[in-house]
């Protein structure tokens, strides 16, 4: 839920979501449509679909040894889950942590290099504590713009003490008038029940169908079931 969504928005629905789907088995049995409805207005509903698909895998085969085998789970998410839920000393490199370790080292790093740097820079912290501490430094102090270097506990070791020339600062395109907004409008209609396709944005609907977020049946669009 926290991927590309602010904490405050997630906090408003998180407890209710877990109450509705307390286990992977419960989510798998509920079907993708129920998960998409419960996801509500968090955005990027493909995450809800992938979460349901992951629940099906877990319910059918059990938890995989490598969490990246689950739909929608990448290198960072797998490491972050292991560090925070399983107490494993796994380095997890998110956007904030990457910015911190690259500025401290004064150079751009690959994922593997960044993870190794994270372990060294974060000592003596390990696992969950290291991850959350570096995330907080990146979010609150080592910000993309106007970093608060004078307050940073890493300033004496930092090679840059400022944004690096190579840092990417791409901003997300405005939502208003975007294709994401068009998809969102169609998704909102379909969440309420079956809708005749002629009443919907055809291109946006086609993209939702391709993502497994809607199905066509008898000239109408609806949420997918099992």
Tell me: do 166 and 215 sit in the same domain. no
Per-residue tokens: 117? 């740097």
Tell me: do 86 and 132 sit in the same domain. yes
Confirm whether 1 is domain-assigned: no
Tell me: do 105 and 155 sit in the same domain. yes
CATH of the domain at 25: 1.10.340.30
Residue 4's pLDDT band, with cuts at 50, 70 and 90, is confident
Confirm whether 2 is domain-assigned: no
pLDDT at 173: 75
Containing domain of residue 26, as a range?
7-72
Tell me: do 83 and 57 sit in the same domain. no
Confirm whether 212 is domain-assigned: yes
pLDDT at 226: 66
User: How far is residue 99's CA from residue 86's CA, in Å, rounded to a whole number?
Assistant: 25
Tell me: do 209 and 163 sit in the same domain. no
Residue 82's contacts (CB-CB under 8 Å, 6 or more residues apart) are 67, 88, 90, 92
Reply yes or no on whether the pLDDT at 176 is more than 90: no
Mean pLDDT score of the chain, rounded to an integer? 94
Number of domains composing the chain: 3
Residue 171's pLDDT band, with cuts at 50, 70 and 90, is low
Tell me: do 121 and 60 sit in the same domain. no
Confirm whether 126 is domain-assigned: yes
Per-residue tokens: 52? 């349901």
Per-residue tokens: 204? 């946006």
pLDDT at 170: 57
Reply yes or no on whether the pLDDT at 61 is more than 70: yes
Which residue, of 170, 191, 213, is where some domain finishes?
Answer: 170
Residue listed under structure tokens 């989510």: 27
Tell me: do 89 and 137 sit in the same domain. yes
Residue 167's pLDDT band, with cuts at 50, 70 and 90, is confident
- Extract long-range pairs of 125-131: CB within 8 Å, 24+ residues apart: 126/89, 127/83, 127/84, 127/87, 127/88, 127/89, 127/90, 128/83, 128/84, 128/87, 130/83, 130/91, 131/80, 131/83, 131/84, 131/91, 131/92, 131/97
pLDDT in tens, 118-145: 999 999 999 999 999 999 999 999 999 9
Tell me: do 152 and 78 sit in the same domain. yes
pLDDT in tens, 186-219: 999 999 999 999 999 999 999 999 999 999 999 9
Give the β-pairing of 215-217 and 220-222.
antiparallel
């Amino acid at each position: 839920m926290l991927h590309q969504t602010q904490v405050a928005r997630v906090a408003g629905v998180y407890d209710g979501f877990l109450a509705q789907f307390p286990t992977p088995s419960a989510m798998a049995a509920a079907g993708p449509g129920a998960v998409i409805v419960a996801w509500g207005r968090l955005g990027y509903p493909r995450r809800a679909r992938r979460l349901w698909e992951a629940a099906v895998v877990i319910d059918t085969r059990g938890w995989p040894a490598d969490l990246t085998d689950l739909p929608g789970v990448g290198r960072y998410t797998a490491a972050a889950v292991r560090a925070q839920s399983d107490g494993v000393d796994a380095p997890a490199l998110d956007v904030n942590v990457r910015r911190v370790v690259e500025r401290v080292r004064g150079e751009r790093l690959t994922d593997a290099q960044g993870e190794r740097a994270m372990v060294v820079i974060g000592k003596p912290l390990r696992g969950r504590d290291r991850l959350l501490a570096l995330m907080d430094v990146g979010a609150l102090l080592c910000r993309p713009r106007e970093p608060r270097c004078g307050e940073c506990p890493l300033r004496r070791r930092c090679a840059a003490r400022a944004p690096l020339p190579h840092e990417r600062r791409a901003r997300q395109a405005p939502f208003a008038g975007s294709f994401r907004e068009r998809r969102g409008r169609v998704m909102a209609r379909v969440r309420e029940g079956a809708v005749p396709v002629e009443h919907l944005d055809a291109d946006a609907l086609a993209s939702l169908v391709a993502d497994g977020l809607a199905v066509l049946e008898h000239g109408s669009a609806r949420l997918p079931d099992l």
